[in-house]
Amino acid sequence: MLKKAKKKNGQSVEVEDDDAFRFRATWVMHTFLGNAGGKEFSQGQLSAQTFKIFTRLDGFAVVDGNGSVKVPSSDLSGIKMGVHPGPGAGACRYQSGPRSPIDVWEWNAYSDAEYIFGWEGITSGVHRCEVGVVVFIPGEDQKSGLAIPLWNRKLVDTRYKVERNRVLRHGSGIPVSEWDGYPYTELVPVVQCDWEKAGWGPRQRKGGCINASVPQVFVMSKSGNPNFLEVIQHIEKALDPSVNAGTAPPKRARHDWSKPEFPPARYSIMVPESKTIYGDWKDPNSKPLIKVNTETGTYNRRHFEKLQFTTDVGTTAERRWPDLDKEDVKPWHLAYVNYCKYYFGEKYANPDKVAYGVPQKKSVACDEYPFASTKQGAGMRDGNYSIQAVSNDHNDAHGAALDKFYADYRVVPGSEFWVKIVR
C-alpha cells in the first residue's frame, strides 16, 4: 500500500520497512424521533425511520517507526480510500452517499461525507439492523485490499453489558459468558426503527429510531425528581430483596395468586417471603422489564384494581370490596376499588366519599411496581410485585415521566429496559 504513496509533485515516497500510513477516522450515527404524524421531529422532512451516518477522514500522513511524520497530509497522494457504511444483518438499506474510493488528497481537501439509510418496503412493526462503517483501501485487484472496521470490537453478553478485557481478535474465537452460558456477541452498532405510536397526548410520537446497542434505562433521581419522590421510594423498596418482604401484597407460601379476588391477608402468623422483582439496573443479575401493549397492561391492573375482591376470608373481619352481591356489581362500582385501600387503609382516612364501603380520596393513588405496562406486572400471578398508596400528584408526575421515556427512547411492546435510582 505504501508503495503507492506519492508527494503532490508526483515524486514517489521512499518507504522503509517500519514506516506506516496513519489517518484518523470519525463517524457519527444520527437517528430521528417521529412527531405525531410520523415524520422526523426536527424538521419534518424525512420519515422518522430514516437515519444518517456522518464520516470524516483526516490526519493523513506517512510516519516512520518512531511516529515522526515523513510526509504530511498536505503533501500526500497516491493512496485511495473509501468509506463503506453498510448494513449487516437486518433489512435496512443504503440510500445515498459517496462510497467509491478517492485519493487521500481529495479527502484532505474535503474530509466529510454523509450517508442516508432507510427501509425498503417496510412500513410497520419494529425492525433491527446492524450498521458498521468500514474504511476500505483497495489493493492490486478485487481480492486484495484492506478493510478496517470503525467500531469497538468488544464483546457483550445477552444483557448488552461489556465484559472487561473481552475483545474480538482475529483467530481468537468467541468465548462463552459465565453469566448465562451463551456465547458473547461482538458489539456491532445496531439500529432499531419502528412505526409504532408511543406516549400519550402531547408526548406522543409515531415512529423513530434508536441505537439498540445501548441498554434502555429509566433513571429516577431522588433529589432531581422531588415531584414523584414517593413513587421512587416505593420502587426502591420493591427492588430491595432485604426489605421487600414487607411490601404489599405480602407474598406467603401456598397462596393462590391465580385468584386475585382473594388477596392475601394483611396480617398473618405466616411470615412473608422476599420477592424476586425484575428491572434493577444496579444489580448485574437482575433481568429486564419487558414492555407490553395496552391490553396486557389493563390485564395486569385488573389483578389489584377495578375488581371485586374479598379480604380476611373466614374471619370476623371478612369484607367485600365493594360490599355488594356479585350479580349486583356494575363497572362504575369498581372504578375506585383497589388493594391499596385494604393494605393502606390509614392513607384513606377522612375520605372525600365512601360508596359501598369503598373510600374515595382524590389525593391518594395506588402505585404498582413492576409497572402494569410490563410483562412482569401483577398479571404474572406469582406475587412478585408491590403496590403502595402514594400521593396522586406524585403518581401522575411519575406516569408522565415514564410515558415520555417510552416515547423518546422507543420502548415499544417487546422492548427490554431497566430502572435506575440515583440520589
Predicted local distance difference test score (pLDDT) of residue 162: 59
Side chain identity at residue 375, one-letter code: K
Please calculate the CA angle 310-312-316 and round it to the nearest 5 degrees: 115
For position 199, what pLDDT does the model report?
A: 83
The answer for residues whose C-beta is within 8 angstroms of residue 60's C-beta and 6 or more apart is 21, 22, 23, 72, 73, 76, 79, 104, 107, 108
Mark the ranges of the chain whose per-residue pLDDT is less than 70. Answer: 40-44, 142, 153-186
Query: C-alpha cell of 235?
Result: 420502587
326 three-class SS: helix
- 379/384 Cα distance (integer angstroms): 10
Helix then strand count (H, E) for the chain reads: 5, 25
CA–CA dist 292, 379 (Å, integer): 12
Residue 177 near residue 157 (C-beta atoms within 8 A): yes
Identify the burial level of 73 via C-beta atoms within 10 angstroms of its C-beta, where 0-12 means exposed, 13-18 middle and 19 or more buried: buried
Q: If we measure between CA atoms, which residue out of 160, 159, 290, 281 comes closest to residue 219? A: 281
CA neighbours within 13 Å on the CB side: how many for 141? 1
E strand spans, 213-288: 217-221
pTM of the model: 0.84
Give me the pLDDT at residue 149, please: 86
Q: Give the DSSP letter string of 270-318.
A: SPPBP-----BTTSTTPPPEEB--HHHHHHHHTTTBSS-EEESTTSTT-
Q: Which distant-in-sequence residues (6+ apart) come within 8 Å of 48 by Cβ?
A: 32, 33, 34, 35, 38, 39, 40, 41, 193, 205, 206, 207, 208, 209
Count of CB atoms within 10 A of residue 43's CB? 8
- Give the pairing type, strands 162-167 and 154-156: antiparallel
Cα 370 from Cα 125, distance rounded (Å): 25
Residue 142's pLDDT is 65
Sign for the CA dihedral angle at 144, 93, 410, 203 comes to positive
Q: Which cell goes with 212?
A: 439498540
Closest CA to 95 of 64, 127, 50, 146: 50
Contacts of 184 (CB under 8 A, 6+ apart): 155, 156, 157, 163, 166, 174, 175, 176, 177
DSSP state of 207: E
C-alpha cell at 335: 372504578
Cα–Cα distance for residue pair 379/296, rounded to 1 Å: 8
Alpha-carbon distance 295 to 187, whole Å?
Answer: 34
If you ran DSSP here, which 8-state letter would residue 223 be given? T
Q: DSSP label at 45?
A: -
